[in-house]
Amino acid sequence: MISAEAYATLRDTAEGRAPLDAAAATLVALTAGGFLVEDGEDEREAVAETHRAARENCETLHLVLVPTLSCNLACPYCFEPGVTPVAGRTAMTEFVRDDLCSLVRAAVAEGTRTLRVTWYGGEPLVGWQNLVDTSERLIATCEAAGCGYSAEIVTNGTLLTADRARKLAALKVTQAQISLDGPPDIHDLRRIGRNRKPTFAAVVEAIAAAAPCLRVAVRINVCRRVAPRVEEVLAILAARGLNRSVSVHLAPLRPAPGAAGSAPPAAAAGTAIDWLDDREVAALRVAFDDLLRRHGFPVHPTGLPQPRGTACIADQDASFVIEPDGTVQKCDWTVGIAGAAVGRLGPGGIEFDEDIARWRDLDVPDDPECAACRFLPLCRGVCPLRRLAGEKPCLPFRHVWARVLARSAGFSPDEAEAVEPALDGPGLRGVGLADIAALADRAEREPPCDLQ
């Protein structure tokens, strides 16, 4: 951001009320950061080029490994829209472990420097010994090949103990994402064990047990019923002293791709999901940062989203989801859905189906609306799976960008509402980058621009 004084000078320059050199330091900094460009420059293509470079970067091989498709919970919205794992594909075999090690060695030979593993499910801790054995094999393979290794786990937490957390840390797992579905009365209806027992208390105990060993990211799954009660979850965690050791973020529950316009699925009383729309999600995230501060949890210093090279792992050429039998997916949403697979892992690597081309050919959106959108460098198309399903997802942040920007600059919530018109001022026209470059020497003698 730039200071209020620098911004005022910039507006005066843009509107012809001040000479160009009055804003020299700010102009040079904005140009260096890519915020000021020549008229006619194809910024959308520049975004697309950085996206392609990030997508094709293979220095890190990211494998989302599913040691088992089994799970000890019976969440009503899991495997949307009701896909049942295929018999005989529920536990990772020794053959698949061998093939994983071969895949890593081949990737290192092609220039990969780091293997990143995300343990996923099903519930990965149901396949605990499988996870341990596979981790040890992969770590040894990476060490022998001179390749770095890191891992994280996505778990429901019900099977996570202090001993297992310590073992995970020894296996180079650095982070655990653990989900809560709201306060106990809602969570225990939705994330219920197959034994029909409630799980909220057990999950909180697991979070507390894991926090000394792992970075714990608590994910609160939200819908319209949970949204007004997220502070209750924060209060419970803070009362356990967990505000000093874990991070918390929101994850809106979504309908399956291709079903975005459908009504929430029929379910038992209390478990039906009432999806939030993008405006509700955006507003909730802004309010949630204030709740985090109120309860002493860590908060991003600005609350502003950060530019990224790709939309997600599905948008990266060197990222794959590997199911227990070696079935390869590109997206964790499609785990367990045989018809969505893009290939199979074998002794010679991954043999891809023709369907992989749909993913690899997906570029930054080029329709007129998206190409002109100021948020394209942030969203990169948001969700490849939804785009392939014919949807046009947008970044919720676009609905609250001015409010978030104002809050990060110190404005109160009420003051933030008046900021957006002031931010949409005139651009600098008739000034070339060569003119700005000529100011560089002069800018060195001025106070530095407060651009962060």
Q: How far apart, in whole angstroms, are the C-alpha atoms of residue 376 and residue 395?
A: 9
Whole-number Å distance between alpha carbons of 202 and 196: 14
Contact 443, 31 (CB under 8 A): no
Instruction: Fill in the amino acid letter for 110.
Output: E
- Give the C-alpha distances (Å, rounded to integers) separating 46 from 41, 53, 234: 9, 11, 41
Domains, the chain, ordered by start: 4-52+374-444 (no CATH), 56-356 (3.20.20.70)
- For tokens 């950061």, what's the residue? 33
Its sign, for the CA torsion 370, 372, 373, 376, is: positive
Q: Is 82 left (phi over 0), alpha (psi -120 to 50) or beta?
A: left
Query: What is the residue-level pLDDT of the chain in tens, covering all 452 positions?
Result: 667 677 778 778 878 888 877 778 888 888 887 777 887 888 888 888 988 999 999 999 999 999 999 999 988 877 533 445 444 456 899 999 999 999 999 999 999 999 999 999 989 999 999 999 999 999 999 999 999 999 999 999 999 999 999 999 999 999 999 999 999 999 999 999 988 899 999 999 999 999 999 999 999 999 999 999 999 999 999 999 999 999 999 999 988 776 544 444 434 445 567 899 999 999 999 999 999 999 999 998 877 887 778 889 999 999 999 999 999 999 999 998 889 999 999 999 999 999 999 999 888 887 888 888 888 888 888 899 999 998 988 989 888 888 888 777 777 777 776 665 565 544 544 445 454 444 444 444 443 333 33
CA torsion 221-245-403-302 (nearest 10°) is -140
Using CA atoms, how far apart are residues 36 and 30, in angstroms rounded to an integer? 6
